[in-house]
Amino acid sequence: MTCLLGIDSGLTVTKAVLFDADGTALAVARREVPQLMPEARHVERDMDTLWRESAAAIREVIERSGRSAGEIAAVATTAHGDGIYLLDRARRPLGAGILSLDSRAGDVIRDWVGDGTSDRALDLTGQSPHVAAQSALLAWIRRHQPERFAAIGTAFSCKDFLRFCLTGTIGTDRTEASSAFTDYRSQDYSDDALRLYGLEALAHALPPASHCAEIVGHVTAEAAVATGLVQGTPVAAGIHDVTASALGIGGHKQGTVGIIAGTYSINEVVSDAPRIDARWFCRNAVAPGLWNSQAISPSSTTNYEWFLTTFCAAERARAEAEGSSIHAVLAPEIEAAMARPSTLLYQPFLFGSPYGEIASASFLGLHGWHTRGDVLAALLEGIVFNHRHHVDALREGFPVTTGHLTGGASRNPTVAQLFADVIGLPILVTETDEAAAWGAALCAGAAVGLYPAFDADPRDLAAITRTYLPDPARQAHYDARYVVYREIADGFAETWEKLDALGRGTDGAGRTAR
């Protein structure tokens, strides 16, 4: 029987998922890829390690599935967006890959805001650059690592590096290509964009773009040995993981907001005409003539994972040893806390925010009688409030009637209902545990003619989708709390500057703090 392989590389884990042609997940294999943090604000990974672990995951998923590698009709990759992966002119990794959690380019962004480059970028590319944008990272490398900058042969994204490892071909797809250097009107690369950022010397380094459901290469002999795939297996161009996740749950369409609650708070809307606003990125949707507006910040469920790792490690290990999970252990505490009034509010800005990279996380309204359940309830509420911040912006620009939710949090009915109550929309959750990998697999299947189009999902989506409707009383409760949350966050700019100065060892006026 025919099956499809989707490879999904996130910020900490790289996965291989094998799907039957009907969309059934046959097996999943995961490998952790260590993050490297050589200094503050630098978040990287070794590119050779990434490929080695991804190849091991592919080999394992084939073995676990019980299927022959010869049954795999096609492969496609997806991965975290933004950040940058560089090859030198000999097509070898040029330093570590830079992840989208990296914020080293803060000085570049501040300069661009000050001299008007950010405003000009919005008018040309449809998006203001941010600290993890390829434009900002390449400008930082030019400024601080000129020898490395001069050696750049290819500058691309994580999924495209994995495609290169599989096929030996260099390229990207339309969705990924639009992350920094395209004119939003033409939806193609723009020399003016490169000149705007002072990066015209890298015109040769931008990978050519293909449709996500286009065959762009085949598994090489070397990759076949590493992965267990059959040499010559077709490989499609793949797709940016933001779009892949929405596609995998049936949410890459007009009239709905796709909500991905993962490391990043991702909120996206498809439209048939571009609309520009500094609060979102106007990027390419899969099909020409459609745009995907994305309101994003690195401030979603990574906050919850941080709390579990930092404060619940022993309990987590004990629960897993007993065949349970830390989520099940904590659920009664969280649900009880959600049912009672609380002064506690959380700003979920551990790794970034809609307010820029200088914002930081905080609990406010904390008292001695608050329990761990209260803290976790506030943390989850803050995560969803941050999603609402983005969704409210998108609703000002686009007609939205429903939300499609995915990400690990979507599997928790309490959290899914929280999204409905806070955002005030019907929230649809599709039974798709590996949405991004399935989105990539759909592209692979369409590329070899297994499906008539990239979005021709063979599953009965209505039968596997649950809808959460806002509860009017709970919606009013969260509306009142959200007003206070926004008032605090909107007024914190000066405080965040002072806190950041303390972290740099200065007092905010450039003097060394004592």
267-285 pLDDT tens trace: 999 999 999 999 999 999 9
287 within domain boundaries: no
pLDDT band of residue 367 (cuts 50, 70, 90) is very high
Residue 306 neighbours by CB distance under 10 Å:
15
* Dihedral sign computed on CA atoms, order 51, 57, 59, 62: negative
Pair 482, 456 in one domain: no
Q: Where are the alpha helices (DSSP H) in 324-366?
A: 326-338
Pair 244, 355 in one domain: no
Residue 62 has pLDDT above 70, yes or no: yes
Residue 369, beta-bridge partner list: none
Distance CA 414, CA 338 (A): 10
- Which pLDDT belongs to residue 512? 43
What is the edge-to-edge ordering of all strands in the sheet holding 291-297?
A: 281-284, 291-297, 265-271, 256-261, 402-406, 427-430, 465-468
Measured in Å, how far apart are the chain's first and last C-alpha atoms?
69
Across residues 15-35, what is the average pLDDT?
96
Q: For the chain, what is the domain count?
A: 2
- Which pLDDT belongs to residue 209? 97
215 within domain boundaries: yes
pLDDT band of residue 514 (cuts 50, 70, 90) is very low
- Which pLDDT belongs to residue 511? 46
Work out the percent of the chain whose per-residue pLDDT is above 70.
Answer: 98
Residue 326 has pLDDT above 80, yes or no: yes
Pair 225, 308 in one domain: no
| DSSP per-residue string spanning 231-251 | TT-EEE----HHHHHHHHTT-
pLDDT band of residue 507 (cuts 50, 70, 90) is low
510 within domain boundaries: no
293 within domain boundaries: no
386 phi/psi in degrees, rounded to 5 = -65, -40
Pair 311, 191 in one domain: no
Across residues 471-475, what is the average pLDDT?
97
- Token pair 């520009």: residue: 276
- Which pLDDT belongs to residue 235? 98
- Which pLDDT belongs to residue 33? 96
Domain range for 350: 302-426+471-503
CATH of the domain at 24: 3.30.420.40
Pair 385, 456 in one domain: no
Contact 26, 461 (CB under 8 A): no
Pair 209, 77 in one domain: yes
H or E element, residue 438: helix 435-447
- Which pLDDT belongs to residue 263? 82
277 within domain boundaries: no
Across residues 416-426, what is the average pLDDT?
97
Pair 169, 316 in one domain: no
Pair 125, 172 in one domain: yes
- Which pLDDT belongs to residue 506? 57
Q: Range with the lowest mean pLDDT among 297-301, 341-345, 485-489? A: 297-301
468 phi/psi in degrees, rounded to 5 = -105, 120
**pTM score of the predicted model:** 0.89
Q: What is the Cα 362 distance to its own chain's centre?
A: 23
Work out the percent of the chain whose per-residue pLDDT is above 90.
Answer: 91
Contact 331, 376 (CB under 8 A): no
- Which pLDDT belongs to residue 375? 97
Distance CA 514, CA 509 (A): 13
pLDDT band of residue 505 (cuts 50, 70, 90) is confident
- Which pLDDT belongs to residue 433? 83
* Dihedral sign computed on CA atoms, order 225, 229, 234, 236: negative
- Which pLDDT belongs to residue 398? 97
What are 212-269's pLDDT values in tens digits? 999 999 999 999 999 999 999 999 999 999 899 999 999 999 999 999 998 889 999 9
Mean model confidence pLDDT for the chain: 95
H or E element, residue 343: none
Residue 344 to residues 334, 379, 461, 498: CA-CA distances in angstroms?
A: 13, 9, 38, 23
Distance CA 77, CA 235 (A): 8
Residue 157, beta-bridge partner list: none
Please compute Rg for the chain using Cα positions. Answer: 22
Pair 46, 175 in one domain: yes
Distance CA 380, CA 331 (A): 12
Pair 489, 456 in one domain: no
Pair 449, 345 in one domain: no
Q: Output 343 or 433, whichever has higher pLDDT.
A: 343
402 phi/psi in degrees, rounded to 5 = -145, 165
Residue 42 neighbours by CB distance under 10 Å:
15
Pair 14, 147 in one domain: yes
Contact 204, 89 (CB under 8 A): no
Across residues 18-29, what is the average pLDDT?
96
